[in-house]
Amino acid sequence: MKTLVLDSLDDLPEAAQAVIEALGGRTVVAFRGEMGAGKTTLVSAILERLGSSDTVTSPTFALVNQYDTADGHPVYHFDFYRIDRLEEAYDFGYEEYFYSGNLCLVEWPEKIEELLPDDAMNVHIRVNGPAQRTIEID
């Protein structure tokens, strides 16, 4: 497990790089943290490090957004906050995304815990103060 303490948004590139380096062949990353912890902000920083020029927004209502990296590979960004039943994830075909071999960045994985691949990487974001966050990557 790797632990980083971010004192400001200026530390985001370092945290994004640490997540990318920790992937080790894994393609599903579960971002865990309370509302407002900075999950979408970290996802945005990861996509920026991967060379995406897309504007990252939370896919709260669409459930999934697709972004492209600099080399043209798709990255899927999920937000399961509004999921009430696992069937909703089945209905939109989550398996096609999770098992595509493409990077999948998942917010609110607690809502679909049993659907996550066994090798999914976890990124825990803890709020320490107005601007400070602790990020644990495992």
- Alpha-carbon torsion (11, 63, 111, 21), positive or negative: negative
Q: What is the mean pLDDT of the chain?
A: 95
**Residue 59 confidence (pLDDT):** 81
Q: Is the pLDDT of residue 5 over 90?
A: yes
Write the class of the CATH domain 2-137: alpha beta
CA distance 66 to 49: 16
